[in-house]
């Protein structure tokens, strides 16, 4: 078995960085990444990588052409590899049964069929993408549905990396989860994957489980993280009514070691490719098993996220005298979080559209996400895109902070204030600015979950 040849099908946010780390830490393995998208592969082979992650360039430069290869011949890759990671995308279905909720498994299934057709020797097939629990069973059925005696072992090894910190998360993971069938073959295949990670991950951080637990854990981890954000955001609404301060509440509860301090920052809402998709998928699975109440419970996490975005818009409208028509509003940030150019499910997208509906004149600035913002909003006329935040805010009536980029905490706000229309407003959708100082300069400041600091009586 060609166990030292690893293939990854899917050169996206998960496949690219993960395989780069494996190649970097395991020089004895040859790692090949393939994708049907030739342009994406060409970019992985260039200096302009399709994914922006701090530290990724260096690792790619150190390994590409040595033991890391980006190629387009998927069949050849399958034939030559003993271990195949599947990292194709599983977006939310947009059609038919489960539209808007279930995972769209068409790319994933095509990949399984392609592995079956091209294989001439035994393979360990590892699910890396997020998929519904019990998908491995379907994959096993497809792989073994052809006459022949090739052995396929299907494993689950979900990826927990977060964007913007992918390289750090891969190098120092909290845990690596590897699930397999608990048969002799399944356990042997599991050991082959454990051996890869043992090259740099301490043994106690490599967790083994049955395959269904592994598949489900990925969905549940994301659901719990998102639930924390929706919980704190729900409380931010109550803080605004009661003069409590959400930052003080977060700190007070986070110091309870049972709760922990992370993921308690109130915000304009969570975004990213995973949280909403995975929760809706989890709820859909619950419903297919008749667990209506459980499904409703998890769906409410997404409902609160939508509520938080709408609440932010209504707050802007209310503060700015119930009309935004013709007013300049500058969005500071469009990415769904800092240190990434990714805009999938970014709250800024919803908010930009809503502001345009209110006939505001929108200016969008972001250090990395302007190109994606232009694509996301290509059907909306009249938006200005400006990389320089000083130029972007000039002449505007309001700034709305959408993304917690560090650069926005370091700007000369006096200079910005002087260049804006008056009265000038700041809506800090991430609570990252020094609100007191901004207020002293003359801004009317509206944080999330804290009393506003205004100059009107
Ligand atoms: C997430 C999971 O963290 C990761 O483990 C999984 O593999 C993929 O999904 P990611 O989507 O990259 O990662 O971003 P994450 O850092 O989790 O943030 C998600 C969203 O929540 C962002 O919009 C972020 O700004 C927001 N967020 C996060 C908050 O609003 N408040 C917080 O306290 C934390």
pLDDT in tens, 345-369: 999 999 999 999 999 999 999 999 9
Q: What are φ and ψ of residue 69, in 5° steps?
A: -135, 140
Residue minimizing CA distance to atom 14 of ligand 1: 162
Cβ atoms of 102 and 131 closer than 8 Å: no
Low-confidence ranges of the chain (pLDDT < 50): 1
Residues with a known catalytic role: 274
State the Cα–Cα distance between residues 430 and 404, nearest whole angstrom: 6
Please tell me the class of the 212-457 domain: alpha beta
Mutate to test the pocket of ligand 1, among 270, 280, 447 (most ligand atoms within 8 A of CB): 270
Q: How many CB atoms lie within 10 A of CB 335?
A: 29
Q: What pLDDT, on the 0 to 100 scale, is given for residue 97?
A: 84
Q: Is 115 exposed, middle or buried (0-12, 13-18, 19+ CB in 10 A)?
A: buried
Residue of minimum CA distance from atom 26 in ligand 1: 270
For Cα atoms 226, 127, 196, give the angle at the middle one, nearest 5 degrees.
105
- Read off the pTM: 0.94
Cβ–Cβ under 8 Å, residues 205 and 136: no
CA of 270 to the centre of ligand 1 (A): 7
Report the run of H or E that residue 230 belongs to, with start and end: helix 211-242
The CATH 3.40.50.720 portion of the chain extends over 5-201, 212-457
DSSP state of 281: H
Q: Could you tell me the CATH superfamily of domain 5-201?
A: NAD(P)-binding Rossmann-like Domain (3.40.50.720)
pLDDT value of position 199: 98
As for ligand 1, residues whose beta carbon falls within 6 Å of it are 159-163, 222, 225, 229, 263-265, 267, 270-272, 274-275, 336-337
Answer whether 163's CB lies under 8 Å from 340's CB.
Answer: yes
Q: Rounded to whole angstroms, how far apart are CA atoms 172 and 310?
A: 37
Q: Are 389 and 365 in contact (CB under 8 A)?
A: yes
């Amino acid at each position: 078995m060609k166990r030292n040849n690893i293939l990854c099908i899917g050169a996206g946010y998960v496949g690219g960085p993960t395989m780069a780390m494996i190649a970097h830490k395991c020089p004895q393995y040859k790692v090949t990444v393939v994708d049907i998208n030739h342009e994406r592969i060409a970019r992985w082979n260039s200096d302009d990588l399709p994914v922006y992650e701090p530290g990724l360039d260096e690792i790619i430069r150190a390994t590409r052409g040595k033991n890391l290869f980006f190629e387009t011949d998927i069949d050849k890759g399958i034939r030559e590899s003993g271990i195949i990671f599947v990292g194709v995308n599983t977006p939310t279905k947009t059609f038919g049964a489960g539209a808007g909720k279930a995972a769209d498994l068409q790319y994933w299934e095509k990949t399984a069929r392609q592995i079956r057709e091209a294989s001439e020797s035994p393979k360990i097939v590892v699910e890396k993408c997020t998929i519904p629990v019990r998908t491995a069973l379907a994959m096993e059925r497809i792989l073994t549905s052809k006459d022949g005696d090739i052995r396929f072992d299907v494993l689950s090894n979900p990826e927990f990396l977060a964007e913007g910190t992918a390289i750090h998360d891969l190098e120092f993971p909290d845990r690596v989860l590897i699930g397999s069938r608990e048969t002799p073959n399944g356990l042997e295949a599991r050991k082959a994957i454990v051996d890869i990670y043992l090259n740099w991950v301490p043994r106690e951080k490599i967790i083994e489980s049955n395959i269904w637990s592994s598949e489900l854990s990925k969905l549940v981890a994301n659901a719990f993280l998102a639930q924390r954000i929706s919980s704190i955001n729900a409380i931010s609404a109550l803080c605004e009514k009661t003069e409590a301060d959400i930052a003080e509440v977060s700190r007070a509860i986070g110091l309870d070691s049972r709760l922990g301090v992370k993921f308690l920052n109130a915000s304009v809402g969570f975004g990213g490719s995973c949280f909403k998709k995975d929760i809706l998928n989890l709820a859909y699975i619950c419903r297919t098993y008749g667990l209506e109440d459980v499904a409703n419970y998890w769906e409410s996490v997404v409902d609160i996220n939508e509520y938080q975005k709408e609440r932010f818009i209504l707050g802007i409208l209310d503060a700015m005298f119930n009309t935004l028509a013709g007013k300049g509003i500058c969005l500071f940030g469009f990415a769904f979080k800092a240190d990434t150019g990714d805009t999938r499910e970014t709250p800024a997208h919803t908010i930009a559209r809503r502001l345009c509906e209110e006939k505001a004149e929108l200016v969008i600035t972001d250090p990395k996400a302007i190109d994606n913002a232009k694509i996301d909003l290509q059907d909306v006329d009249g938006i200005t895109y400006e990389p320089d935040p000083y130029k972007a805010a000039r002449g505007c009536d309001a700034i709305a902070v959408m993304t917690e980029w560090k650069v926005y905490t370091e700007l000369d706000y006096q200079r910005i204030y002087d260049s804006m229309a008056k009265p000038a407003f700041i809506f800090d959708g991430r609570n990252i600015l020094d609100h007191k100082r901004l207020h002293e300069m003359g801004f009317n400041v509206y944080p999330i979950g804290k009393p506003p600091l205004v100059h009107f009586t």
